[in-house]
Structure 1
Amino acid sequence: MVIVGGGFGGLRLAQKLADAPVQVVMVDRNNYHNFQPLLYQVATGALEADSIAYPIRKIFAGQNNFFYRMADVKGIVPATNTVQTSVGDIRYDYLVLATGSLTNFFGIESIEKNAMQIKSIPNALNLRSFIFQNFEQALLETDPEKRQALLNIVVVGGGPTGVEISGSLAEMRRHVLPKDYPELDLKKMQIFLVEAGPALLGPMSKASQEDAKRYMDGLDVIVRLNTAIKRFEDGRAYYSDTEFIPTENLIWAAGVNGAAVPGLPDELVTRNKRINVNMWNQLPGQPNIFAIGDVANMVTPDMPKGLPMLAPVAQQQADLLAENLPRIIRGEAPKEFSYLNKGVMAIISRNKAVVDMPKDIHFKGFLGWLAWLFIHLILLVGFRNKVVALVDWAFSYFSSDQALRLIIRPFSRKDMKDDKGKRAAEHATATVQYNPTPPAIQEPAGQPTPAS
């Protein structure tokens, strides 16, 4: 069995198959599992990058039926049961696509070219460096308009990621930046949260939406609802043909696409690049190919647009698929998937969070904040990561400070690389055969006007 992707779904599935009569081969471009919900804290200096990542090989140390290959997946060939990668072709008996999601720029070229995103640890580190580099540049800038653009930050997208990073930036503006940049008039620094819809946290309850808006107002974050950024160029984020927000810092958190793999029939891939699957995560017409997590588009009567792109969905699908695969191998009927909603949450700032639980249970504030901390702490992979995150959070809470304001890797927009998996140098192609028994593996040979 080949699993493409080491995210929440792929990781859980490989672990659940530890005692199954299969050889598990995981392919991922990174040699670590990345805890995406906390990427924004790396971007704002609240956590170390290595506290939200854990080596894949270390996770599976001692699992004898597991093998890992670090590679980019270029496509699949269902007719020959082959995965094409940057290190060669990998043959499979069963294939599971757990590739997650990619940022959706909605075809706006200027935003894709110039905006920052938060989908990976390199993204988060680049964003952190970029913001602090612009503050350093603002100290030297004599033109008031250019200085304002260097100070302003625009976050596009009012979902959990946009809300959480906006709140974190507002906390940093209030408690951290005045100590580091006493020469700057940080009262002029503006944080905009721009949402195309009528409310923040659209998928959550009305109570959570209202609480999030009130918390944002209390943090002096300027919330623009029913507003869409149309283009971003020359230090201007345009929300109409002539009106703009002056900024050099635009963070795009407005949407995601599924990370579909080339080679599948067109009718299986939706417009937002998710892969249609049946109720046991099998691709229609492809009996030995499955998809789980964000990339899987499983439609139910309650979710006509597909199940939400959340980690609990991926993990529950992985759990059921691990049960179903032995049944499928034996020729038995698989069980159908049923999603158990355990609730959703979003943190805004210290002591401020919103939580929606099943049966319309909602709570907020300090209790919601504690619940958010506890859930994310136990979900982190590795004891060390849990301890480091807890220590960093405690330090930030009691000192109102963030210690990781480091520009370790200076970043500019010309350094942006393609996040779709391309690499400058390709490895030599070789064919790798995996034999399920025994578990031995061969090595791969007009004049615009600014907004107030």
Structure 2
Amino acid sequence: MSKIKIVIVGGGFAGINLIKKFKGDDRFLITLVDKNNYHFFPPLLYQVATAFIELSNISYPFRRLFRERSNVRFHLGSLVRVNPSRNTIETDNGVLEYDYLVLAMGTETNYFGIENVRKNAMPMKTIDEALNMRNHLLLNLEKAVRSKERSERNKLLNFVIAGGGPTGVELAGMLAEMGSKIMVKEYPEIKNFASHIYLIDAGPVLLAPMSKKAQDEAYQVLSKLGVKIILNKAVQDYSQGRVILNDGTSIETNTLIWTSGVIGREVPGLPEKVIARGRRIMVDEHNKVLGSDNIFALGDQSLQLSDVNYPKGHPQVAQVAMQQGALLAQNLLNKIEKKPQTPFSYKDKGSMAIISKYNAAADLPKFSFKGFFAWLVWLFIHIIPLVGFRNKAKLAFSWFWSFVTNDATLRLIVRPEEENHGEERKSPVNH
């Protein structure tokens, strides 16, 4: 009997949790397709970008992860096209056949059609982008201490973050903490670095999806750290070193960090009628793409309207992807064994955001809390999903050392060449 071929495109939370369920089941041959040869943990990218932790703390090679799974293969490549009528996909490294195809490619940065922002802003969705940001940050600091002109110095030190969601808040807090704990010692020429951090959001509050308690805490803590918070205003353009807001005001800066939105990754070959808002793929209660018999979409890339508790679709968060991946695996097993399928129902485990050292906000299903205890819970929750015991131990030690000593030791400029911010950034098709 030939093996059932499952091809999974995207090695994020959804793809990895799906594969875990098939351990030791030789009825299946699973091929994971990804443009990177490693899984990584996106919620901590900002700590890589600010030189607080090493990239190896949050990444793990796929081949090492699967080396004891005889039914799993890895294919390094980017998705080019899906061919539903032939049950194949084309990648930039060859063609793969499938019996079941799972699209779990996640999202990419959404620039909302602002061309200059797309070309010149700094996104933070990948390891490469986080490393680029880290080097850019450190190079700007070096240039600033050499600068003789105040206007040029301010332009180099001003860091504008567009987007007041969890990523923007966490990034602003981390940069402000660096300014007060580290830069005062290593860059004595720079005074009041936190006052050069701007956090902008088009809405009336920070952390819009979270509770009022979390929103108020984020605003108060960041303001106390010196971050300049600008609400009810949106970035309209970024040209010639100026961030222009929709009220006509502008900020001189060499750095615009864009965390304002995401859009699903493109899947050429799927019918246009299944592509919904935000380029999400419409699926049924079992995450099967509408109109298809054997193509599924998971996580941020999917739009499921059948869950009565989420009639407009699920939030694009890691827990949704993890739960959908695990359930799809069980449903595929049930299908092969002619057992009933289980519809997906999201179990919300809450949301969290770290605001500053020893301070976080947490919204759990039944209550919300903040402060030091929330910060401890945040640390614990973010270690659990990491792949590999070595990663968990390394990250725990790195955090302990950095928080206790106020001295992360990773501020290395590993790409010292001058950056060309005018060069267009191109995003590969798949995650």
Same fold (TM over 0.5): yes
**CA distance, structure 2, for counterparts of residue 131 and residue 199 of structure 1:** 27
Any conservation in 2 of the 1:354–1:364 contact (CA below 8 Å)? yes
Equivalent residue for 1:363?
369
Aligned to 1:23: 29
Structure 2 distance, partners of 1:181, 1:276, is: 51
* Residue in 2 that maps onto 1:334: 341
- Structure 2 counterparts to residues 45-444 of structure 1, below 5 A: 45-186=51-192, 189-240=195-246, 242-299=248-305, 300-359=307-366, 361-410=367-416, 412=419, 413-414=421-422, 417-421=425-429
Q: CA deviation at 1:60?
A: 1.0
Q: Is the 8 A contact 1:15 1:60 kept in 2?
A: no
Matching of residue 14 in structure 1 with residue 14 in structure 2: no
| Displacement after TM superposition at 1:415 (Å) | 5.9
In 1, the alpha carbon distance for the partners of 2:364 and 2:192 equals 38
Residues of 2 paired with 1:290 and 1:22: CA distance? 17
State the distance in 2 between where 1:305 and 1:268 align.
15
Deviations 1:61-114 (A, max 9, x none): 111110001001111011111111011111111000010110111010000100
- Separation of aligned partners in 1, 2:206 and 2:81: 37
- Name the SS for the 1:167 alignment partner: helix
Q: Kindly indicate whether the alpha-carbon contact (under 8 Å) linking 2:195 and 2:226 is maintained by their aligned counterparts in 1.
A: no
* Distance verdict in 2 for CA 1:229–1:414, change over 3 Å: closer
Aligned position for 1:440: none
Whether the 8 Å CA contact 1:135–1:151 is kept in 2: the answer is yes
The Cα of 1:135 is off from its aligned counterpart by 1.2
| Whole-Å separation in 2 of the counterparts to 1:54 and 1:14 | 15
Looking at structure 2, the residues matched to 238 and 159 of structure 1 have their Cα atoms a distance apart, in angstroms, of 20
1:439 match: none
Q: Quick check: 2:179–2:194 contact (8 Å CA) kept in 1? A: no
Measure how far apart 1:2 and its partner are: 0.2
TM (normalized to structure 1)? 0.90
User: Tell me, what secondary structure is at the counterpart of 1:84?
Assistant: strand
Report if aligned partners of 1:155, 1:193 keep a CA contact under 8 Å in 2: yes
Counterpart amino acid of 1:349? Answer: S
2:8 equivalent in structure 1: 3
Q: Is the 8 A contact 2:120 2:422 kept in 1?
A: no
Contact persistence 1:152–1:190 (CA under 8 A): yes
Measured at CA, do residues 416 and 127 of structure 1 come closer, stay the same or move farther in structure 2, by a change above 3 Å?
A: farther
Distance 1:238 1:17 in 2: 51
How many angstroms apart in 2 are the aligned matches of 1:418 and 1:336? 37
Whether contact under 8 Å (1:148, 1:189) holds in the other structure is: no
Name the TM-score, length of structure 2 as normaliser: 0.95
Tell me how far apart the structure 2 counterparts of residues 152 and 350 of structure 1 sit (CA, whole Å): 22
Q: CA deviation at 1:332?
A: 4.6
CA shift, 1:329, in A, is: 3.1
Aligned amino acid, residue 9 of structure 1: A
Structure 2: which 5+ runs fail to align? 1-5
CA–CA separation in structure 1 for the residues paired with 2:114 and 2:182:
34
Q: Find the aligned partners of 2:137 and 2:117 in 1 and give their Cα distance.
A: 17
Q: CA offset at residue 144 of structure 1?
A: 1.8
**Cα distance in 2 for residues equivalent to 1:258 and 1:81:** 22
Residue 3 of structure 2 corresponds to which residue in structure 1?
Answer: none
Q: Quote the offset at 1:180 in angstroms.
A: 1.6
- Cα distance, 1:271 vs. partner? 2.5
CA distance in 2, matches of 1:246, 1:415: 20
User: CA offset at residue 222 of structure 1?
Assistant: 1.0
Helix, strand or coil at the partner of 2:277: coil
Distance 1:184 1:22 in 2: 59
Of 294-303 and 93-102, the range deviating more from structure 2: 294-303
C-alpha displacement at 1:206, in angstroms?
A: 1.3
Structure 1, unaligned stretches of length 5 or more? 423-452
After superposition, what is the alpha-carbon deviation per residue over 1:330-364, rounded to whole angstroms, capped at 9, x for unaligned? 455411011111111000111110000112x0111
Write the letter of the residue equivalent to 1:343: G
Tell me the distance in 2 between the aligned counterparts of 1:373 and 1:240.
37
Task: Select between 76-85 and 300-309 the one with higher mean Cα deviation.
Answer: 300-309
1:257 Cα deviation after fit: 0.8
Deviation for aligned residue 1:316: 0.6
For residues 225 and 200 of structure 2, what CA distance do their matches in structure 1 show? 15
**Counterpart for residue 441 of structure 1:** none
In the aligned structure 2, how far is the partner of 1:256 from the partner of 1:305?
17
